[in-house]
């Protein structure tokens, strides 16, 4: 499809934040303002004055990085950025300051990260993230997974990826056969809207599940995209049908350049409340990441009506 875009405006925005929309994700866009289009098409509000003044790193990821591209916030697990590229650059990304600049991650930063993990016996789990780890070539990813798996104190490997959603064709037989050597391996995918659950995405997730990889979903609440009870309820139910278990619904981490996607916590709590009564398998936790690097905490709606149960 051809999007009605103003080239000079887009150029101004992508000077700050790169754009990438691959043919598959483009095929899901019905028009520039649809929930899929809004996630992918640059918006001039990314670079308006307010956003330029915003904090690029309010969660203090850089301060909590003992080595480049590795965040050690919790004692027992680290977040390891192994790629700065994604199959599609989400306009709301909380790592806008880094993604889309491939030189941010190099063989050297990856090796230093693996070395740091090797030398820290408290670390039991590595969250392999980015950017998108599944955009790396098979042999590079294999090298990273092999390196991490050879460390005695590492028990759990987890990959965070949007590829099964944004470029499901990347989940090839070769990739899956490589991944299945590194169990226990978990993959958390990032779906935000029911329209992203296509036949292709279903096949990709099925292949990963068949390889024994448990799949979770981390969804971000986004203004004008999915901050509606019925959209989230439908998404959570559809995820189960492709064997993906909802893991977290995230309050958006507001950073420089993504303020226009912000939703209210009240909206989020109402959405969580609306999930009451559906299968427990579809109900994730609603998490907010505390500014300042305090970590994620769950937010709970007030399910219990005291007067109704007379206690």
Ligand X SMILES: *Cc1c(COP(=O)(O)O)cnc(C)c1O
Check if the beta carbon of residue 53 is closer than 8 Å to that of residue 122: no
| Closer of 38 and 77 to ligand X (Cβ) | 77
Number of residues that bind ligand X (CB under 6 A): 7
- Assigned token pair, 298: 């769950």
Number of residues that bind ligand SF4 (CB under 6 A): 11
Ranges within 68-107 binding ligand X (CB under 6 A): 71, 73-74, 77, 79
Check if the beta carbon of residue 219 is closer than 8 Å to that of residue 284: yes
Helix axes 265-274, 229-241, angle to 10 degrees: 50
Cα separation, 199 vs 152, in Å, equals 39
Contact pick of 38, 77, 95, 238 for ligand SF4 (by CB under 6 A): 95
Torsion of CA 18, 192, 214, 201, to 10 degrees: -80
Cα separation, 79 vs 20, in Å, equals 24
117 binds, among ligand X, ligand SF4, none (CB under 5 to 8 A by kind): none
73 binds, among ligand SF4, ligand X, none (CB under 5 to 8 A by kind): ligand X
126 binds ligand X (CB under 6 A): no
For the chain, helix, strand, coil in percent to 5 are 40, 15, 45
Q: How far is the CB of 290 from ligand X (least distance, A)?
A: 10
86 binds, among ligand SF4, ligand X, none (CB under 5 to 8 A by kind): ligand SF4
Catalytic residue numbers read 73-74, 77, 86, 90, 93, 95, 253, 289, 296
| Sites of contact with ligand SF4 (CB under 6 A) | 86, 89-90, 93, 95, 99, 130-132, 162, 190
């Amino acid at each position: 499809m051809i999007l009605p875009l103003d080239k000079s405006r887009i150029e101004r925005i992508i000077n700050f934040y790169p754009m990438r929309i691959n043919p598959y994700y483009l095929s899901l866009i019905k028009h520039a303002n649809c929930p899929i289009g809004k996630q992918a098409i640059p918006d001039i509000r990314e670079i308006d004055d307010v956003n330029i003044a915003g904090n690029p790193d309010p969660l203090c990821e850089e301060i909590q990085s003992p080595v480049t591209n590795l965040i050690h916030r919790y004692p027992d697990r680290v977040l390891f950025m192994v790629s700065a590229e994604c199959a599609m650059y989400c306009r709301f990304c909380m790592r806008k300051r880094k993604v889309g600049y491939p030189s941010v991650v190099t063989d050297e930063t990856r090796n230093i990260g693996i070395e740091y993990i090797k030398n820290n016996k408290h670390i039991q789990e590595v969250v392999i993230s980015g950017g998108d780890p599944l955009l790396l070539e098979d042999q590079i990813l294999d090298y990273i997974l092999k390196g991490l798996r050879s460390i005695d104190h590492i028990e759990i490997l987890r990959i965070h990826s949007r590829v099964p959603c944004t470029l499901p064709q990347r989940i090839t037989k070769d990739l899956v056969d490589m991944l299945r050597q590194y169990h226990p391996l978990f993959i958390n995918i990032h779906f935000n809207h029911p329209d992203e659950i296509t036949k292709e995405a279903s096949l990709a997730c099925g292949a990963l599940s068949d390889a024994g990889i448990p799949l979770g979903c981390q969804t971000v609440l986004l203004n004008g995209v999915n901050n509606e009870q019925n959209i989230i309820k439908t998404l959570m139910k559809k995820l189960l049908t492709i064997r993906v278990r909802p893991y977290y619904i995230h309050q958006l981490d507001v950073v420089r350049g993504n303020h226009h996607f912000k939703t209210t916590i009240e909206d989020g709590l109402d959405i969580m409340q609306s999930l009451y009564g559906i299968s427990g398998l579809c109900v994730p936790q609603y998490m907010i990441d505390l500014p300042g690097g305090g970590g994620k905490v769950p937010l709970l709606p007030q399910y219990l009506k005291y007067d109704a149960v007379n206690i």
